[in-house]
Each structure stands twice: as C-alpha cells, then as structure tokens.
A = this chain, B = another copy of it.
Amino acid sequence: MTSNTPQRINVGLIGGGFMGKAHSLSYAAMPMFFWPAPALPHRKTIAELNIDVAREAAVRYGFDEGVSDWRRIIEDPDIQVVDIATPNDSHAEIAIAAAEAGKHILCEKPLATSSEEARRMLEAVQKAGVVHMVAFNYRRTPAIALARRLIEEGRVGKVLNFRGTYLQDWSADPSGPLSWRFQKKIAGSGTLGDIATHVVDIARYLVGDISHVNAMMQHYITERPLQSGGADKLGASEKNADAPMGAVDVDDEVMTLLRFDGGAVGSIEATRNGWGRNNYITFEIHGTEGSISFNYERRDELKVFFNSDPGDVRGFRTIYTGPAHPNGGALWPIPALGIGYGETKIIECHDFFQAVVTGGTVSPNFEDGYITALIEDAIVKSSQERREVEVERAGSLVKV
C-alpha cells in the first residue's frame, strides 16, 4: 500500500439482477478509471432472496458474502454504503431503514412507486444526514455532461426548446412475459417511471425545473403471459401458447409537452413499443445562439451547432467525447475508443463516493427523485384531464 491509498468503504448491495451486475462492475472499476480514487469501494455483502442465488452472486460479482435477508446489510456496522437495486416497490422500505441506520444510499430509479413514498424517503435521508443518490445514470454519459457544460457556459445562448425521446421496443411483442415491470403494484407505473423519468432527469439537468406538463398516455397491450421464473427478463423470450395470461395495468407510451421555469418549452416522448428502437434516448435543444443534438444509441457523439460559425462552414459538429470532455481524463485515452453502459455507472459511482468521502451532496439525489415523482403525478393528471397541469413544488420539504 502506498501512502496515498484511498480509504476502503464497505458496500452492501441489495439485488443481483441486471442492475446488481452493473453496480458491481462500477465498484471494481471505479478506481481503475479515477485515480487517485476518492475511495476504494469494497464489495462486502450482496443480498438476494434465495440464499443459493445470493452466494453464487457473491462469487460472480466479487462480494465477500451473500445473504438472503437484506436487513443483514442494514444491521452490519461495517457497511457504510447501501446500494438498492431491487424492484421499485421495495425501495422505500429499504432506503428508510438504511437511512435510519446511518448508511449512505445509492438507489436505483425510479426512486419509488409514488411521490408519497419518495417524499418519505427524502425525509428519512435528510433527517439522517446521509449521502443519497438516485441512479439516473444517463446524465453521466460524457456527451450529455458536455451538453450541460456548453449550456452553462452560454455557448448556445438562451435555451428555447428541448425535445427528448426514450424509445425502446422490448415490450412491443405481446408475447413477452408479464415481468414486474408491467405490474403497477410493483413498478408504480410503466413506461413513465421506467424510462420517461430518465428523460425528465436529463431535461432538468440541462434546462432546469419543469413547471407545467401537458400529456397523453397510451396503453397498447392489456395482457401478457404469466412469467414462470422471477427473473428481470426483458423482451419476448418465452412463447407458450398455453401460458395463462395476466393483466398489464401500466402505460405503454407517454407523450408530454413541457414548460420550464426559465421560459423554455419542450416535449418528451417515451415508449417501449417503438419497433426498431433499442435504447433511443435522444434530445435536441435549440438556443438563441446554437443547437445541441444527442442520441444515446451513438453515445460517443454530441452534435453541436454554433450560429457564430462562418456562413460557408456552418453545420452541426459531430464531437466524439474523449480526454477533452467531462470525466474524459478518467476514461479512455482517445475519443471513440468506446463509451459503454458501464462507464455511465463508473462515473456515477465516482461522484457518489466523492460525496461520501467529502460529506458533500451529489446529484441526482432523493430530492431530484422526489421532484421527478411529482412531475410523474402531473403527467398522469394531465393525461386524465386532457389539459395542462402545473407541477406541484417540492416546497419546504426540500432543503438544498
């Protein structure tokens, strides 16, 4: 060990699905990328309902041990960080317990299944004084962070308009199984909470707070085959004509117009029924002095237009993010070597531990998660009443 070895911080991870894998990767890789690292996350305990699954996950993901009861993690005095990567309906209970036990918390998105739950979670972490973060990871894509920097520096002028989409097709096939993501009691909502919230987060990150929404929500597929296993399986993998069917009670598509506090307007469309779109998170921003365009499916790139360029060579620049851009020094030595999903999680992990170690705050946090939940409420209400709806303010609950 060298004298400037970062401190080791023990992590307990709850949930060994797709997100558990992504978070485990980030704990292992964060110091490799960010050096000196704010801390050395140590993978101590992973919890899964089934003890065999938990033990296997511990080997696979490099944890010291696997446990079947997540409360073992809460009760472990050697664990400083609790990572919640479970289905949405368990976030509140776990997070509140973790906060009361004084743990710092990284929670997957959406924060909760309702704004009421989200508010209680926020109150708990504020009362406990712990570091809290909600894992809207996409804003950590270097190209999106670059967009934020350019906007902050005024390089595209005042923002007039934001158009965002999140289009997927993994639920377009009616034969896809009825996973928890299609059940309101577990997921809280469908496309809205699952993916539209990522774009809401990006919109708030880039343009600021949203004051009004004006939305339509659609429900295309009303029943799906019951799933045999409990896995978090995406897409249509099991086609069994005889499988009993269960009701889908969440939305498939949401479209909303937006008004931002600063006067800008915008729109968001999210669907999981858009054939041919995989992880199509896009936005386009028009400012008074330029424009910015992004598509996560080509996430190494940010397209930027400056009206100040000479008239004969003016056009969107396709910028490949690299060492010259946010977090670029930590990632790969040249642009286009390849930003993957993992990198967004590695940067998220870094920023979280930076806050843990310095006692600071990090965004997006439970406040952001709560505000996003209030925006979700307004979208649902607007869709039902077919009119523009003002977003309820988080108000005094939130201390920034």
* Interface of A toward B, CB cutoff 8 Å: 1-2, 4-6, 18, 21, 24-25, 28-29, 31-33, 35, 37, 40, 52, 55-56, 59-62, 146, 149-150, 155-156, 160-161, 163, 165, 167-170, 172-173, 214-216, 218, 220, 232-235, 253, 255, 257, 259, 265, 267, 269, 271, 273-280, 284, 286-291, 293, 296-301, 303-307, 309, 311-320, 322-325, 332-344, 386-388
Contact = CB atoms under 8 A, between A and B. Distances in A.
8 contacts: A168-B334, A220-B288, A255-B265, A274-B284, A276-B293, A279-B336, A315-B317, A338-B341
Nearest to A310: B324
Q: How many copies of this protein are present in the complex? A: 4
Contact of A276 (B220, B269, B291): B291
Contact of A317 (B232, B267, B309): B309
B336 A338 contact: no
Contact of A35 (B60, B173, B280): B60
A214 B32 contact: no
B338 A271 contact: no
Contacts of A333: 18, 232-235
A300 B280 CA distance: 13
Nearest to A343: B340
A253 B160 contact: yes
Given A257-B216, A314-B317, A275 B291 contact: yes
A274 B284 CA distance: 9
A337 B332 contact: no
> Per DSSP, are chain A's interface residues mostly helix, strand or loop, or mixed?
mixed
B323 A305 contact: no
Given A253-B160, A320-B278, A24 B18 contact: no
Contacts of A59: 1-2, 5-6, 31, 40
A60 B36 CA distance: 8
A129 B216 CA distance: 42
Given A257-B214, A313-B150, A29 B29 contact: yes
Contact of A170 (B259, B274, B334): B334
A173 B307 contact: yes
A214 B212 CA distance: 14
Contact of A320 (B32, B33, B284, B315): B315
Contacts of A305: 275-276
B317 A316 contact: yes
B307 A313 contact: no
Contact of A340 (B274, B325, B341): B341
Given A55-B1, A291-B276, A299 B160 contact: no
The 5 closest A-B pairs by CB, nearest first: A340-B340, A276-B305, A338-B341, A278-B336, A387-B387
A343 B338 CA distance: 9
A21 B28 contact: no
Contacts of A165: 163
A52 to B, nearest CB: 7
A271 B334 contact: no
A197 to B, nearest CB: 17
Contacts of A340: 338-343
A299 B336 CA distance: 9
A284 B291 CA distance: 21
Contacts of A337: 278-279, 341
Contacts of A168: 334
Contacts of A343: 338, 340, 342
A335 B279 contact: yes
A299 B338 CA distance: 8
A107 to B, nearest CB: 20
Contacts of A232: 333
A218 B258 CA distance: 12
Given A257-B257, A275-B305, A278-B337, 10 more contacts: A29-B342, A35-B60, A149-B312, A172-B288, A232-B333, A309-B317, A338-B342, A340-B341, A340-B343, A387-B387
